[in-house]
Amino acid sequence: ASAAGGHRVVCYDTLLDQQSGTHARLAAELRHALDDGEFHLLYQPIIDLGSGHVTSVESLIRWQRADGRVVSPADFIPVAEETGLIVELGAWVIDTASAQAADWHDRHGPHAPKVAVNVSARQLLDPALPRTVAAALARHSLPPHRLTVELTETAVFGGGPALATVRALAELGVAIALDDFGTGHSSLSLLRTCPVDVLKVDKSFIDGLNGAPEQEAIAVALSGIATSLHLRTVAEGVETAAQADRLRDLGYHHAQGFHFSRPIPADAVDALLPAAEPA
């Protein structure tokens, strides 16, 4: 941009240049970060509201840069999706989470936590995804039902190739969870066409618990639908004991949120599990 365009125009052009420069730089840095091993997974406990035990964990990716700064997935997953790097990054997540799930399974047997992985819309459009998952299960000798794949309604919406991929995943025997349930396009009709095991009810509905009755109505209705369809429910973003108590009363099976635990490293999850029996 040249100063001839006037001050405002110059600023605008410069801003655009900076933004696309930042985007391209981030895309290149993600590539190197994957090669240099700068990603790791944290695991957030999912609690059985009946027993209070940790029955599964959700893996959540973190990027720790060479200078020590940790970048949130909200800041880099969208870029990884746009560039397609999410396919390779997602395969790393699936393999790493499967290895961890197999390690817990070896040491804790039936009491080991199941492990959930997030799979984005772009990954679901990759016809090789079921093969990637099957390879990870085989490599780590992980029974398929120990792995849960979390998808959003929006990613599956519209059927077609994404729905075919979900069906192929379900055929492998992994559990399918609908993430952020209630915030997408197609919530209820999707339950007829898509093989679903778990509904993860979005935090926005949990936030309204113990408020006005109409605030609770959707959380109540979703629990009812899940029960009649024999789906398991996970309430997301539970931040208070009062919410947890109310969810138990409403028949929710599982809950996840800062009230129970933030996302933590795998060895910190170990400390929450009953002591492993000696081999």
CB of 263 to ligand C2E, least distance (A): 5
Shortest distance (Å) from residue 275 CB to ligand C2E: 27
Residue 197 site contact among ligand C2E, Ca ion, none (CB < 5 to 8 Å, cut-off depends on kind): Ca ion
Token pair recorded at residue 202: 């979005």
Minimum separation from the CB atom of position 94 to ligand C2E (A): 9
Considering the rule CB under 5 A, would residue 207 count as an interface residue with Ca ion?
no
Q: Which two tokens stand for residue 176?
A: 């399918």
Listed as own residue / partner, the contacts of 52-55 with beta carbons closer than 8 Å and 24 or more positions apart are 53/111, 53/274, 54/113, 54/269, 54/272, 54/273, 55/113, 55/114, 55/254
165-194 positions binding Ca ion, by CB under 5 A: 170, 179-180
Catalog residues that contact ligand C2E under the rule CB under 6 A: 44, 60-61, 72-74, 77, 90, 93, 118-120, 179-180, 237-239, 256-258, 263
- Total chain residues near Ca ion (CB under 5 A): 7
60 binds, among ligand C2E, Ca ion, none (CB under 5 to 8 A by kind): ligand C2E
* Shorter beta-carbon distance to Ca ion: residue 91 or 194: 194
Q: How far is the CB of 276 from Ca ion (least distance, A)?
A: 27
d(CA 140, CA 136): 6
Amino acid at 240: T
CB closer to Ca ion out of 153 and 179: 179
Q: Distance between CA 213 and CA 26 in Å, rounded? A: 45
With binding defined as CB under 5 A, does residue 239 bind Ca ion? no
The string of DSSP codes covering 38-87 is -EEEEEEEEEETTT--EEEEEEEEEEE-TTSPEEPHHHHHHHHHHHSTHH
In the complex, the smallest distance separating the C-beta of residue 217 from ligand C2E, rounded to whole angstroms, is 21
Q: Tell me which of ligand C2E, Ca ion, none is bound by residue 45, counting a contact when its beta carbon lies within the kind-specific cut-off of 5 to 8 angstroms.
A: none
